[in-house]
C-alpha cells in the first residue's frame, strides 16, 4: 500500500505513520528524517542539504525529490510506503506524482488526519511543556496552522480530485485514530480489487 499521510502540525501524523509502519510492514518515510540521515552520513546530497539547512533556508523541492527518489529505489518500498509530511503544497504534490508514476509506484491512498485548530493548539502546548520547547508558543502554533491551511488545502483538493483522499477525525485515543485509518485502508484495498 502506497500512502500519503496529510495533517496539520500536531495532528498525530508521525505517531500514526509509525504505527502504520508496524501494522502494514511498509516503511514510514519522512523527508525530515531523510534530510537528517543524509547530512549525518555525509552523502554528496547530504552535504548540499547541510549547506542549505545551515543557512536557515528550506531544502528546495528538486533536492527533496532527488532524495525521495533515492529512498523509493530501495527494496523495502516495493510493497509500499507511508509518506509523512510531504507533499506540503500543490507543486510538491504534482512533482511527487510525476516521480512516483515514473517509478511505477503511484499513490494509492491519501489520508488526511483532521483535527480542530483548538485541539492542535492544546496538543502542541502540552507537548511543548513536556519537552521544554519554548518555540511552540500559541502564537507560533496558530501561525503554523494558518500556513498549513493556505498551502495544504490545494494538496487535499488535488488528492480528492483524483479520488484518492479520505479524511479521518484525528480526535480520540491514538488507537481509535489508528483503527479509523486502517478501516479506510482496508476499504481502499477492497475497492481496488473489484
Cis status, amide bond into 87, omega within 30 of 0: yes
| 88 given a catalytic annotation | yes
Catalogue all structural domains in the chain, each as residue range(s) with its CATH number.
2-181 (3.40.50.300)
In whole angstroms, what is the distance from residue 69 CA to residue 155 CA? 20
Catalytic residue among 40, 74, 78, 133: 133
Q: Which residue has the higher pLDDT, 82 or 143?
A: 82
| 144 given a catalytic annotation | yes
In whole angstroms, what is the distance from residue 97 CA to residue 74 CA? 18
Contact 13, 85 (CB under 8 A): yes
Q: How many CA atoms lie within 13 A of 107 on its CB side?
A: 27
Residues 159-193: tens digit of each pLDDT: 999 999 999 999 889 999 999 999 999 875 655 44
Catalytic residue among 13, 50, 71, 123: 13
Residues 52-99: tens digit of each pLDDT: 888 877 789 999 999 999 999 999 999 999 999 899 899 999 999 999
Catalytic residue among 23, 74, 78, 127: 127
Catalytic residue among 36, 37, 142, 144: 144
Strands 28-30, 109-114: parallel, antiparallel or unpaired by DSSP?
A: unpaired
Amino acid at each position: 500500500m502506497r500512502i500519503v499521510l496529510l495533517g496539520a502540525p500536531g495532528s498525530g501524523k508521525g505517531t500514526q505513520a509509525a504505527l502504520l509502519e508496524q501494522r502494514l510492514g511498509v516503511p514510514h518515510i519522512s523527508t525530515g528524517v531523510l534530510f537528517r540521515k543524509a547530512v549525518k552520513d555525509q552523502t554528496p546530497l547530504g552535504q548540499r542539504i547541510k549547506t542549505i539547512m545551515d543557512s536557515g533556508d528550506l531544502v528546495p523541492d528538486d533536492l527533496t525529490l532527488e532524495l525521495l527518489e533515492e529512498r523509493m529505489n530501495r527494496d523495502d518500498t516495493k510493497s509500499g510506503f507511508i509518506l509523512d509530511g510531504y507533499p506540503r503544497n500543490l507543486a510538491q504534490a504534482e512533482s511527487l506524482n510525476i516521480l512516483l508514476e515514473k517509478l511505477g509506484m503511484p499513490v494509492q491512498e491519501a489520508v488526511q488526519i483532521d483535527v480542530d485548530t483548538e485541539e492542535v493548539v492544546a496538543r502542541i502546548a502540552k507537548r511543548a511543556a513536556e519537552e521544554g520547547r519554548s518555540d511552540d508558543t500559541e502564537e507560533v502554533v496558530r501561525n503554523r496552522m494558518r500556513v498549513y491551511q493556505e498551502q495544504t488545502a490545494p494538496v487535499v483538493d488535488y488528492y480528492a480530485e483524483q479520488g484518492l483522499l479520505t479524511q479521518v477525525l484525528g480526535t480520540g485515543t491514538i488507537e481509535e485514530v489508528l483503527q479509523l485509518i486502517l478501516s479506510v485502508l482496508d476499504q481502499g484495498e477492497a475497492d481496488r480489487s473489484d
